[in-house]
Amino acid sequence: MNSLKYFLLSIFVFTVNVTFSQDEDNAPKPEVGIYERLGETIPDDIILNDENGKPVNVKSLITKPTVFSLVYFRCPGICSPLLNGVLTVVDKSDLEAGKDYNMITISFDQSEDFNLAAGKKQSYLDNLEKKIPPDSWRFLTGDSLNIRKIADALGFKFQRQGVDFMHGASIMMVSPDGKIARYLYGTDYLPFDFKMAVTEASEGKVVPSITKLMKMCFSFDPEGRKYTLNITRVAGGSILILLGVFVVILNIKKKKNKINKVT
């Protein structure tokens, strides 16, 4: 039994070392991903441009629970699916945009201007089945300094790769007083999860996210210009889970054997 445990422990250490060493070797500098800033407040000095090219203070737009999304409009990967996911959940949710919450989509590509933002906004508003007030979904652009400020405030780390970017996929719920309350990962959002996140933000609750599969399992393929499944990371995680289950089963059997010997 002891030799088996040592064997399992060796596999565990080997798997962890392989997985994390590869992550460290492949990790871009600065790191790319979503780093939750729960409980932190959006700064007061971030100025971006709205769809009409007018400068706006981002903090001043947060007058109710606000759903933030960071994308770039020419993205060949997950940005469009993310915004389509927002569009779908807005249609399916029984909450009303403009009444129960607002949305702010920000391009983190400094080369994209308000004309492109205005076109994207109109396209998404036109594709909504549920009509919402135009001011309830803002599309903003800006200079590199202010983009970095809002991205850092939300814990959104990205890196340029040629004309494209490496980045993650998440929407962030911010309370009416500007406090970051919740993250929803990926590109598809369940109406129940969305409603709970908006409700938590409206109440000022800070709730850590449980599901982070998109952050863990997907990476950007610069050559294919798309996000692909990181097989090594998934395999490593699966092995760890299976080993954990196996160890639990062995311990249960060991306890049962002790009980049987006693009786």
Nearest 10 degrees: CA dihedral of 168, 205, 198, 84? 0
217-234: string of b/e by CB count within 10 Å (b at 16+)? ebbbeeeeeebeebeebe
- 217 and 103 in a common domain: yes
- 251 and 201 in a common domain: no
- 64 and 23 in a common domain: no
The answer to whether the beta carbons of residues 139 and 118 sit under 8 Å apart is: yes
Q: Provide, rounded to the nearest whole percent, the portion of the chain with pLDDT above 90.
A: 62
- 141 and 236 in a common domain: no
pTM for the model stands at 0.71
Tokens of 29: 């500098």
199 against 220, higher pLDDT: 199
Q: Identify the pLDDT of residue 122.
A: 97
| 13 has a pLDDT exceeding 90 | no
- 104 and 8 in a common domain: no
| 237 has a pLDDT exceeding 80 | no
Q: Identify the pLDDT of residue 31.
A: 78
Q: Identify the pLDDT of residue 256.
A: 64
- 146 and 242 in a common domain: no
- 258 and 183 in a common domain: no
Confidence of residue 255 (pLDDT cuts 50, 70, 90): low
DSSP, residue by residue, 129-175: SS---GGGEEEEB--HHHHHHHHHHHTEE-EEETTEEE---EEEEE-
Bridge partners (DSSP) listed for residue 183: 172
Write out pLDDT tens, residues 49-84.
999 999 999 999 999 999 999 999 999 989 999 999
- 98 and 72 in a common domain: yes
Q: Identify the pLDDT of residue 32.
A: 86
17 against 79, higher pLDDT: 79
**Burial environment of residue 12 by CB neighbours within 10 A (0 to 12, 13 to 18, 19 or more):** middle
Which residue carries 């092995």 as its tokens?
239
Q: Provide, rounded to the nearest whole percent, the portion of the chain with pLDDT above 70.
A: 68
The answer to whether the beta carbons of residues 105 and 147 sit under 8 Å apart is: no
- 234 and 214 in a common domain: no
248 against 227, higher pLDDT: 248
Residues whose CB falls within 8 Å of the CB of residue 6, separated by 6 or more in sequence, listed in order: none
DSSP, residue by residue, 29-90: SS--EE---TT-B--TT-EEE-TTS-EEEGGGG-SS-EEEEEE-TT-SSSHHHHHHHHHHHH
Write out pLDDT tens, residues 151-193.
999 999 999 988 899 999 999 999 999 999 999 999 999 999 9
Please give the average per-residue pLDDT across 206-219, as a whole number: 54
Confidence of residue 204 (pLDDT cuts 50, 70, 90): confident
Confidence of residue 201 (pLDDT cuts 50, 70, 90): very high
Write out pLDDT tens, residues 108-155.
999 999 999 999 999 999 999 999 999 999 999 999 999 999 999 999
Which residue carries 């289950």 as its tokens?
245
- 42 and 22 in a common domain: no
Q: Which domain holds residue 37?
A: 33-228
Number of other residues whose CB lies within 10 A of the CB of residue 1: 9
Number of other residues whose CB lies within 10 A of the CB of residue 235: 13
- 18 and 69 in a common domain: no
Please, what's the largest Cα pairwise distance for the chain? Answer: 81
- 236 and 172 in a common domain: no
Indicate which CATH number applies to the domain containing 186. Answer: 3.40.30.10
Number of domains in the chain: 2
